[in-house]
């Protein structure tokens, strides 16, 4: 599983097995973990709009060489509380270095946009990671780390459990940092005709250190606010220009598509595209390596697309830092950064489990462009394969490489291993970060007869699906525009032994069901076996796409006690309908729960229920919000928010 449902397992994961998702060849002595916040209960302060949580961490000394620092952020529901509701802008900062009497600092090293957590179960949790090696000069000795949680929602019964873990890999740095300075770090009003944002985003000059080879500009930018009529800055697509020494380096749209968010579904408008962020998103910075001339003065300038609003409430939240580095220590030096598939990491859950074409991330941390490398890869316990990559990977650049072939596995958990070597045919200068091991779960194995069950919604022109085999050959397809509304399609397939991929697409990015799209209605997709038993149920509120990888062969995976839930509509003036389907009968309890308060407004008991459709009339209740909760055998299996008369 990618989202672990056992809270005790999650605690064990945090405490003892940070390296379970991706491990390297570095020995335990070369890697250490600094936890500044451990399951810290984080709530808002509605009187201020923010609340800070500070904690100290003991980092390596200044004399200790650091190769890499990864910040991992774990979110869960706090003990005795439910997960919080809103997509707030949280900042992780270095506040002080050198101990209590040390130097005051104010560096945002990461930014978290919290998810809509109102419908998460109490066992829910998720984690993200970001490379913060650029702050290695400051993450030394005693450091005070601040988690700043913004927002105004009630704080008595909801919040987050936050853990911050810094994974520090010791070793020769790829580049030796010289200095770090702020370029921009503020909330900038955008669209005010009387106060142009460019007055604040002025060009910033810096002098190159005599030892500097390049300066790295690290930028995190998100848009917020909701002016009329454009919806800026959260819901308007504007561009940003980056100028260096009077020359335009890049024009970039400050915009992010959210329909493929790995954290889904969420309670709110999680599928809506936004200004460079999505709910449930630890921001990854934009990185620019700028060539400098030692002793010369250079200028960095960020400009926003010209924009004026008659009702300006838009803000661009920008932190930009400039880190000067010495020349890369090695000429030929590559590092394997990550495994996208196969993987257990939550951020890659839409692509996994996977059975074909492994995908890795490689970075060039040497002085010269890399034109070729050797990659050896495969599942431990099986024969390894070799792939010779050719292309152009610039110095400081990162690339994703798709490797040919199948991903072999045995039942249960497996370990995929990849080793990179011979950059430009030369010996790699630092082989310790050339090997990676990624634990992964094997794909489910099905019988040869498979039924694709698809019930369309009111907007079938937005839906399509395709099934391909391991060679990419199309086995069955329902193209966009070929489906009718509110129609059930059952396609029976007889498949030979192979690996397959089922992809369900929605061109509007709002799945087969989305509470804020009542005109779309509700649809359903699942895979059945020849007996009509459910072998895979798909969440209807999936955003842009669903990808399911499976194998046909023997022995087939036994039929599990799966259940399927669908509640629609979740914004209503009177009635809502629950569709329930299970492979095996069980005792089911359905509860309507007030929010806030948690009072049970009504409760329904169904003995040995296997399948049914139930309509509940809520018109007698006053305007407000509720949860519909389904318990099976006394355990909550489904929970969804209902907006009544809103």
Angle at 273 between CA 267 and CA 278, to 5 degrees: 60
In CATH, the architecture of 561-646 is: Sandwich (2.60)
Quote the pLDDT of residue 432: 92
Give the fold, CATH level 3, of 177-325. Jelly Rolls (2.60.120)
Give the SS3 label for residue 410.
Answer: coil
Give the separation between CA 106 and CA 128, rounded to whole angstroms: 23
Reduced 3-state DSSP string for 185-208: EEEEEECCCCCCHHHCCCCEEEEC
Residue 104 to residues 51, 95, 98, 138, 183, Cα–Cα distance (Å):
19, 6, 9, 11, 18
Give the separation between CA 302 and CA 288, rounded to whole angstroms: 13
- What are the sequence ranges of the domains in the chain? 1-17+27-173, 177-325, 356-441, 443-560, 561-646
Quote the pLDDT of residue 201: 97
Residue 329 near residue 175, CB atoms below 8 Å? yes
Give the rounded percent of residues in the chain with a pLDDT score beyond 90: 88
Give the separation between CA 37 and CA 146, rounded to whole angstroms: 9
Quote the pLDDT of residue 411: 84
Look at strands 444-446 and 545-552 and give their pairing: parallel
In tens, the pLDDT along 442-451 reads 999 999 999 9
Give the CA radius of gyration of the chain.
Answer: 26
Tell me which CATH code domain 443-560 carries.
Answer: 2.60.40
Say yes or no: do domains 177-325 and 356-441 share a fold.
no
Under CATH, domain 356-441 is a member of which superfamily?
Answer: Immunoglobulins (2.60.40.10)
Residue 193 near residue 203, CB atoms below 8 Å? no
DSSP run (H or E) holding 608? strand 600-617
pTM for this model (two decimals)? 0.92
Quote the pLDDT of residue 15: 40
Give the separation between CA 452 and CA 443, rounded to whole angstroms: 18
Give the separation between CA 170 and CA 30, rounded to whole angstroms: 5
Average pLDDT per 10 consecutive residues for the chain, totaling 646 residues: 34 40 54 96 97 97 96 96 95 95 95 95 94 98 98 95 97 96 97 95 97 98 94 96 97 97 95 98 97 96 96 95 97 97 97 96 97 98 97 96 96 93 96 96 94 97 97 96 96 96 97 94 94 94 97 88 91 93 94 90 95 94 93 91 87
Give the separation between CA 620 and CA 622, rounded to whole angstroms: 7
Give the separation between CA 289 and CA 296, rounded to whole angstroms: 16
Sign of the four-CA dihedral 348, 350, 352, 353 = positive
Quote the pLDDT of residue 103: 93
Look at strands 66-76 and 204-207 and give their pairing: unpaired
Tell me which CATH code domain 1-17+27-173 carries.
Answer: 2.60.120.230
Give the separation between CA 594 and CA 523, rounded to whole angstroms: 27
């Amino acid at each position: 599983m990618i989202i672990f449902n056992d809270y005790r397992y999650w605690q064990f994961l945090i405490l003892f097995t940070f390296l379970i998702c991706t491990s390297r060849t570095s020995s335990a002595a070369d890697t250490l973990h600094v936890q500044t916040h451990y399951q810290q209960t984080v709530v808002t302060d509605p009187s201020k709009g923010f609340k800070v949580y500070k904690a100290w961490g003991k980092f390596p000394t200044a004399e200790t060489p650091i190769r890499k620092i990864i910040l991992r952020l774990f979110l869960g529901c706090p003990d005795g509380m439910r997960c919080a509701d809103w997509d707030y802008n949280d900042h992780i900062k270095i506040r002080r270095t050198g101990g209590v009497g040390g130097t005051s600092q104010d560096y945002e090293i990461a930014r978290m946009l919290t998810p809509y957590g109102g419908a998460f179960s109490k066992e829910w949790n998720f984690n993200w990671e970001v490379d913060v090696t650029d702050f290695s000069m400051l993450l030394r000795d005693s450091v005070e780390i601040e988690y700043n949680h913004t927002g105004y929602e009630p704080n008595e019964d909801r919040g987050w459990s936050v853990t911050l873990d810094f994974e520090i890999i010791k070793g020769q740095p790829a580049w030796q940092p010289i200095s770090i300075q702020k370029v921009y770090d503020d909330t900038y009003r955008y669209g005010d005709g009387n106060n142009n944002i460019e007055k604040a985003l002025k060009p910033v000059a810096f002098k190159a250190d005599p030892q500097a080879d390049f300066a790295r500009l690290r930028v995190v930018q998100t848009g917020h606010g909701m002016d009329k009529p454009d919806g800026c800055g959260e819901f308007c697509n504007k561009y940003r220009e980056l100028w260096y020494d009077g020359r335009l380096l890049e024009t970039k749209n400050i915009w992010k598509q959210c329909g493929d968010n790995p954290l889904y579904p969420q309670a709110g408008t999680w599928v809506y595209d936004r200004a460079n962020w999505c709910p449930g998103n630890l921001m990854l910075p934009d990185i620019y390596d700028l060539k400098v001339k030692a002793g010369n003065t250079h200028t960095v300038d960020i400009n926003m697309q010209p924009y004026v609003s008659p009702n300006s409430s838009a803000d661009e939240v920008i932190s930009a830092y400039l880190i000067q580095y010495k020349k890369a220590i090695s000429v030929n030096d590559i590092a394997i950064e990550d495994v996208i598939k196969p993987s257990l990491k939550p951020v890659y859950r839409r692509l996994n489990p996977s059975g074909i074409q492994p995908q890795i991330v490689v970075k060039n941390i040497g002085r010269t462009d890399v034109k070729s490398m050797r990659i050896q890869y495969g599942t431990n316990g099986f024969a390894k394969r070799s792939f010779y990559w050719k292309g152009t990977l610039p110095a400081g650049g990162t690339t994703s490489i798709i490797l040919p072939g199948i991903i072999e596995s045995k039942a249960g958990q497996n370990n995929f291993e990849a080793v990179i070597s011979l950059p430009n045919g030369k010996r790699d200068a630092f082989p310790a970060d050339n090997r990676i091991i990624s634990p992964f779960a094997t794909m489910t194995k099905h019988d040869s007869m498979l039924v694709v069950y698809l019930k369309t919604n009111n907007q079938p022109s937005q839906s399509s699906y395709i099934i391909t085999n391991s060679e990419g050959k199309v086995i069955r397809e329902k193209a966009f525009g070929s489906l009718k509304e509110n129609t059930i399609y059952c396609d029976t397939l007889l498949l030979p032994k192979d690996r397959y991929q089922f992809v369900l697409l929605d061109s509007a990015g709002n799945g087969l069901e989305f509470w804020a799209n009542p005109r779309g209605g509700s649809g359903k997709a699942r895979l059945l076996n020849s007996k009509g038993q459910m072998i895979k149920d798909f969440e209807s509120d999936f955003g842009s796409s669903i990808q399911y990888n499976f194998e046909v062969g023997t022995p087939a995976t036994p039929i599990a006690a799966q259940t399927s839930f669908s509640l629609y509509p979740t914004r209503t003036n009177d009635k809502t309908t629950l569709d329930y389907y299970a492979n095996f009968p069980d005792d089911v309890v359905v509860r309507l729960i007030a929010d806030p308060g948690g009072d049970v407004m009504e409760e329904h008991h169904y003995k040995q229920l296997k399948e049914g459709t139930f309509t509940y009339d809520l018109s007698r209740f006053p305007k407000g919000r509720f949860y519909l909760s389904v318990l099976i055998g006394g355990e909550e299996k489904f929970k969804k928010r209902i907006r009544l008369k809103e």
